[in-house]
Amino acid sequence: MTARVYLRPTAFIDAPFGHNGRALRLAGGLQWFSAVELITSDYGQRGTVELVPVEQLEARIAALPAPQAAEAQAFLARLLAPRPALSLGERVVRLDQPQVMAILNLTPDSFSDGGRHFDDPVAAADAATAMAAVGAAIIDVGGESTRPGAQPVWEGDQTARVLPVIERLAAAGVAMSIDTRNANVAAAALKAGAAMVNDVSAGKFDPRMLEVVAAAGCPIVLMHHQGQPETMQHDPRYDDVLLDVYDWLEDRIAAATDAGIAKDRILVDPGIGFGKTLRHNLMVLNGLSLFHGLGCALVLGASRKRLVGALSGEAPAEKRLPGSLALALAGASQGVQILRVHDSEESVQALRVWRGLRDSALTP
């Protein structure tokens, strides 16, 4: 590895009015930042962190050694570039504002709602339609639990679980993603009406996944993980979790584009709870804005996860709504474009209030 430079947007402000040259718009969204943390990393170890006001950023980048200056300029360009809308079948999902991806687990063993919609495609489709009706932009349909300790599910069982529901939702015009690590499941779901793949392994579990997605021309979510679900929480380690996750996702984006997937159809997820301790998760959440430097839309899936319970007296999964909303709003405040949630109606309402505040601030 060689020395690298990263830029993390910070010092967010309500609106850019009256701050000409002192604020920049993050990824074409609703957030404006007035400073960046300029982070240097030497051979994988974090070196210095320097807070640079936006009005001084151009000069500070110019003062870097030539390779790092070019890298920083490219990083900044990716931070600012608007994220194109997602075309999901008949639906278009804009990414200039935070959107809700609602979770539909068709499993008997998912950590939060396993069994609720298992083996009842009609009830599951009705539940998903209700999620869309209250404002969820995307329904994320999954037939395999990847919670810590979960065992793999045969792709035939996954397909049997998800296809009857996907077909019903496609007929109703609902935008869907298929949550799977298996290329054959993804291919069958896309043929049945899903329009995006959400792969928690980022294409590493099944080597055919990126090929299938490239052939379909659909979007894909690449999620960071360390280890496999069966063992991923057994002493996960990082040199610098924020930069390690960034570099890992950068490598997976390169693998996806090399496989023929267009960069504007790639989304990234830092993988809260997937091979990370509580401390790791909190560091990633506090540093979320860094990941906009990858140049892809950002997905955050923190709903009802273990960290909420760990910070709230070991609250069980069904009692983690308030903490989940806090994390969703924290993500929106750092420019996250898609929030993957269990509680659609409550999350949509929270984001509408957040959006109202932003709209007021951005109205001259």
Q: What is the CATH number of the domain that holds 347?
A: 3.20.20.20
Percentage above 70 pLDDT, the chain: 95
pLDDT for res 1: 46
Give which of 56, 50, 49 is closest to 34, Cα–Cα: 56
Which residues on adjacent β-strands are paired with residue 326? none
Computed over every residue of the chain, the mean pLDDT equals 94
Regarding whether 90 and 76 lie in a shared domain, the answer is: no
Decide if 305 is catalytic.
yes
Q: Say yes or no to pLDDT of 158 above 70.
A: yes
Pair 115, 217 in one domain: yes
Answer yes or no: do 185 and 160 share one domain.
yes
Do 184 and 107 belong to one domain?
A: yes
Query: Looking at the structure, do residues 273 and 357 belong to the same domain, yes or no?
Result: yes
- Considering the domain architecture, whether residues 66 and 119 belong to the same structural domain is answered as no
> What is the per-residue pLDDT for 146?
81
Of residues 43 and 240, more confidently modeled:
240
| φ, ψ (nearest 5 deg) of residue 274 | -105, 90
Same structural domain for residues 68 and 168? no
Domain end residue (candidates: 80, 115, 137): 80
163/190 same-domain check: yes
- How large is the average pLDDT for residues 124-141? 97
Q: Which of 80, 98, 117 is the last residue of a domain?
A: 80
Highest-pLDDT range among 108-122, 137-151, 257-271: 257-271
Instruction: Grade residue 142 by pLDDT with cuts at 50, 70 and 90.
Output: very high
What mean pLDDT is predicted for residues 291-318?
96
- Mean pLDDT computed over 142-159: 86
305 and 238 co-located in one domain: yes
pLDDT of amino acid 108 = 79
Q: Is the pLDDT of residue 232 over 70?
A: no
Same domain, residue pair 105 and 176: yes
Q: What is the pLDDT of residues 169-212, one digit of tens each?
A: 999 999 999 999 999 999 999 999 999 999 999 999 999 999 99
Cα 304 to Cα 327: distance, rounded to the nearest angstrom: 10
**220-223 and 24-25 beta bridge pairing:** unpaired
Mean pLDDT, residues 152-171: 94
**What's the helix, strand, coil split of the chain in %, to 5?**
40, 20, 40
Whether 289 and 339 map to the same domain: the answer is yes
**Domain count for the chain:** 2
The yes-or-no verdict on residue 235 having pLDDT over 90 is no
Ramachandran angles phi, psi of 332, nearest 5°: -60, -35
Name the residue type at position 145: S
Tokens of 16: 């850019």
To the nearest whole percent, how much of the chain has pLDDT over 90? 87
Question: What are the angstrom distances between the C-alpha of 270 and each of 126, 185, 249, 299, 325?
Answer: 30, 23, 8, 8, 18
> 65 and 113: one domain?
no
Structural domain including 54 reads 4-80
What is the predicted pLDDT for the residue at 277? 95
Whole-angstrom distance, CA of residue 228 vs CA of residue 201: 9
User: Average of pLDDT values for 136-145?
Assistant: 94
Asked whether 362 and 351 are in contact (CB, 8 A), the reply is no
pLDDT at position 150 is 75
* Catalytic residue from among 168, 304, 340, 358: 340
| pLDDT recorded at residue 12 | 98
Which of the four pLDDT bands, split at 50, 70 and 90, describes residue 221? very high
Among 55, 80, 105, the domain boundary falls at: 80
Q: Which is catalytic among the residues 8, 252, 305, 358?
A: 305
pLDDT attached to residue 148 = 74
